[in-house]
Amino acid sequence: MADKPRLRIPSEAKKGDIIAIKTLVAHPMETGFRKDEQGKPIPRKIINTFVCSFGGREVFRADLEPAIAANPYIEFTVKVAESGTFTFSWTDDDGTVTTAEHSITVS
């Protein structure tokens, strides 16, 4: 996957703040229901799992279906208690995993 995932997350927060995390990854999310010009079905190829962890602990996960639009955008919240690093992973049907990281300073 050529494009880096896009993340929108604050880099600083106060202890106990609930922050919004916005993520977007470039992917066609081919449903498997479409047909090409010859009428042959185009095989399904989607991101099926998205996971966000903080300091090694899973804080949010989404199981995606073909009903998620291309370039899947996912937004959720996290209550931050300490400084640390968020890790994100997007898993493709073919097993490819795209990852990203973001550090936050909590005062």
Partner 1 sequence: MSPISRRGALLLGAGLGITLRDVAREAGATPAQADAAISKFTAGKTAERGKISIDLPEIAENGNTVPMSVVVNSPMTADDYVSEIFVVGDANPNAAIVRFHLTPMSGRAEAATRIRLGGTGTVTVLAKTSTGKLYADSKTVKVTVGGCGG
Binding site for partner 1 (CB under 8 A): 18, 31, 33-35, 54, 57-70, 72-79
Question: Given the complex with partner 1, which of 1 and 75 has the nearer CB atom?
Answer: 75
The closest alpha carbon to 73, from 24, 36, 32, belongs to 24
Tokens coding 27: 């992917």
Strands 73-79 and 18-24 turn out to be antiparallel
Residue 16 CB, shortest distance to partner 1, in Å, is: 9
Residue 23 CB, shortest distance to partner 1, in Å, is: 10
Tokens coding 57: 């602990």
CA distances to 16, 17, 46 from 28, rounded to whole Å, are: 37, 34, 7
Residue 18 CB, shortest distance to partner 1, in Å, is: 4
